Structure 1
Amino acid sequence: MTAEGIFQFVAPITAGICLILAMGWMWAPKLILNIFGIAYPDSAIIVARRGAALFLGIGATFAIAGKSHDETLRHALCAGMAVSCTLLAILGFLERSRRAAGAGIWLAIMVEAALATALVLVLCLN
């Protein structure tokens, strides 16, 4: 399979994950924080909703660019999102290790690691 083919498969999945996260963080931040075992003061809700806006923008970018044949665009999107997902997975692991987050954070870590792996695969095949 080519880098373009894998990207065209991964891009809508990335867009979907980002859309789900945006909706969750916007309208049900307490539920997500509860799953992660994290307290949810007003400040956490404000930051969560602001993060939702970022996820929505990233999702829209991947949804629109998903059919792109431009190698430079694919490379930039995959590199940026792979870095973000890798860092999020590492942060999740560290937060879990120091018991600042509950076991529910493992779901996020697994999704972030899987997505980072798929995006790096696109980069390696480019």
Structure 2
Amino acid sequence: MTFRTLCLLTAALSISLFAILLLYPPLIYSIFAIPAHESADLLARRAAMLFLGVAVLSWNFRGANAPQTQRAFSLGTIVMMLGLASVGIFELARGFAGFGILFAIITELAIAAAFVKLLRSLKA
């Protein structure tokens, strides 16, 4: 997969999560099997803004051709996706999230793996 394609995929995923978390967070609560609560809504709206930022960054970096720029963006995305997957695995293991979180974990690991593969090709 090309850097451009990965950036577009990351932007699309991030803008989707932004919209869901901002406009209808109960969908995520349902998928992850976690209780809805006003404090969870607050955190969902704040997380929405983070995903909006990721979407904007991904969209704007899609045309970057410099290997150093692609490396920097890829590393940041890998760290973010592995961090999200790790938290998801931890919350699933402790029983706080339901098995629906596996969809998010698999997606995050797939995106991280794609960026790792891209990084390896940049070194060659």
TM-score, normalised relative to structure 2: 0.93
Q: For residue 112 of structure 1, what is the aligned residue in structure 2?
A: 108
Equivalent in 18, 27, 31 of residue 23 of structure 2: 27
Residue 58 in 1 paired to residue 54 in 2?
yes
User: What SS does structure 2 have at the residue aligned with 1:67?
Assistant: coil
Instruction: Give, in whole Å, the separation in 1 of the partners of 2:66 and 2:19.
Output: 29
- What amino acid sits opposite 1:22 in the alignment? F
Q: For residue 41 of structure 2, what is the aligned residue in structure 1?
A: 45
Instruction: Give, in whole Å, the separation in 2 of the partners of 1:87 and 1:58.
Output: 14
Q: Deviation of residue 17 (structure 1)?
A: 0.4
Q: Deviation of residue 33 (structure 1)?
A: 1.1
- What amino acid sits opposite 1:109 in the alignment? I
Q: For residue 14 of structure 2, what is the aligned residue in structure 1?
A: 18
Q: Deviation of residue 30 (structure 1)?
A: 1.3
Residue 78 in 1 paired to residue 77 in 2?
no
The answer for unaligned runs of 5 or more in structure 1 is none
Instruction: Give, in whole Å, the separation in 1 of the partners of 2:68 and 2:36.
Output: 40
Identity %: 33
Instruction: Give, in whole Å, the separation in 1 of the partners of 2:51 and 2:70.
Output: 18
Instruction: Give, in whole Å, the separation in 2 of the partners of 1:28 and 1:76.
Output: 33
TM-score, normalised relative to structure 1: 0.92
The answer for unaligned runs of 5 or more in structure 2 is none
Runs of 4+ deviating beyond 4 Å: none
Instruction: Give, in whole Å, the separation in 2 of the partners of 1:71 and 1:91.
Output: 30
Q: Deviation of residue 47 (structure 1)?
A: 0.8
Instruction: Give, in whole Å, the separation in 2 of the partners of 1:115 and 1:123.
Output: 12
Q: For residue 63 of structure 2, what is the aligned residue in structure 1?
A: 67
CA RMSD of aligned residues (A): 1.1
